Amino acid sequence: MSSSAGIASLGDLTGKRVLVRSDLNVPLDGAAITDDGRIRASVPTIAQLADAGARVVVVAHLGRPDGSPDPKYSLQPVAARLSELLERPVAFATDTVGASATATVAGLQDGEIAVLENVRFNDGETSKDDDVRGAFADQLAQLADAFVSDGFGVVHRKQASVYDVALRLPSAMGGLVAAEVDVLRRLTDHPERPYVVVLGGSKVSDKLGVIDNLIDKADKLLIGGGMVFTFLKAQGHEVGKSLLEADQLDTCTRYLSEAEDRGVEILLPTDIVVDTAFPSDDRAPEPSVVPASKIPSDALGLDIGPESAAAFAAALSDAKTVFWNGPMGVFEVGAFADGTRAVAQALTEVDGLSVVGGGDSAAAVRQLGFDEAAFGHISTGGGASLEFLEGKELPGIAVLERD
């Protein structure tokens, strides 16, 4: 059985064991969670299931533990934080499909919640072998009567707890995934105009598919972050020691030409905040602002400059639809955060749909102290949102929507 409908399609959940795939992949400093945004985003669906009388079994991953247990990637601190946010007890199993998981799930009463240990401690989760992955999915499915997919950050992965389990149990989208898909379809299917796409981050190569798919849909394309230097070099400017993807110069030249042919405005920074070295703990930043066309040979660009930040904000001022993915600079360091801050501020003032595309952009919004409610939507999945906007099929969505 499958369903692209919501949890209601699963019927009465009282007493049923519901395996919910959440995205609890949060950054840790030791055992301390430094950004709990994804945990908070997972709370509504988990609470909804528990309130419906389900025995909720949460499965999730943390980091890349390479298919075997690694204490530094344990979900135990995440389970503790989830309990605080839910304001109710959350049991924790010290394995995913072993004796602890079996006993923990068996001990649940109606409305109670358990978190299983990191699903990626099992090599079957991410195996490329369908049979290996399927065997692990069989073990997961034995723990539940139904499956709810609510981890948007992983729906672009064909993994056991995302894809294969949905083939084995009555399945539905959780509220978080349903909301993400709805918003992203609004960005690709007849978006309200003007439609502005803001792209940053380090590499052009990470955004090729998005640019290819949106260059004929957007009215304006604003480029910042490390990826801008490949565009500047393609225009014939020197970029000093700035990040450069020489193998993408022809691609950037093509984008600039295509945009001109299609009447799409590509806005590049006119000034850049530079330093002679990348920020580090043992060196204070020494930022200076230079024209984008005159970056010194001994300098590297680390943020868009104030003139560019103002131009980007102005370009967003009349937008009705905005998608933003990737910071404008090294926002983690105050001296190079102003460009990202300006873009985020402009998004809060958009009279329409403003979407923050997950990943570093979402982290920047939180780190820079913005009220998340001021944005139309903050995605929990940077990679998944990019692949959706590239026009790719997402396995974790397709499996729920199959006939």
Per-residue pLDDT reduced to its tens digit, 187-246 = 989 899 999 999 999 888 888 888 998 998 999 999 999 999 999 999 999 999 999 999
25 is in an annotated binding site: yes
Give CA–CA dist 302/224, Å, rounded.
Answer: 10
State the pLDDT at residue 307: 98
State the pLDDT at residue 383: 86
This prediction has a pTM of 0.87
Counting beta carbons within 10 angstroms of the beta carbon of residue 212, is it exposed (0 to 12), middle (13 to 18) or buried (19 or more)? middle
Closest by Cα among 46, 53, 50, 5 to 22: 46
Structure tokens at 309: 């930040």
Q: What strands, in cross-sheet order, belong to the sheet with 17-21?
A: 91-92, 113-115, 55-59, 17-21, 146-149, 171-173
250 is in an annotated binding site: no
63 is in an annotated binding site: yes
Spell out a b/e string for 125-159, using b for 16 or more CB atoms within 10 Å of the CB, else e. Answer: bbbeeeeebbebbebbbebbbbbbbbbbbbbbbbb
- Which are the catalytic amino acids? 38, 203, 359, 383
- Report, in angstroms and rounded to the nearest whole number, the Rg of the chain calculated over CA atoms: 22
State the pLDDT at residue 2: 39
Dump pLDDT digits (tens) for 250-307: 999 999 999 999 999 999 999 999 999 998 888 899 999 999 999 999 999 999 999 9
157 is in an annotated binding site: yes
Give CA–CA dist 126/390, Å, rounded.
Answer: 23
358 is in an annotated binding site: yes
Structure tokens at 280: 């580090």
352 is in an annotated binding site: no
Dump pLDDT digits (tens) for 306-360: 999 999 999 999 999 999 999 999 999 999 999 999 999 999 999 999 999 878 8
131 is in an annotated binding site: no
Sign of CA dihedral 362, 364, 369, 375: negative
81 is in an annotated binding site: no
Structure tokens at 174: 């959780």
State the pLDDT at residue 403: 63
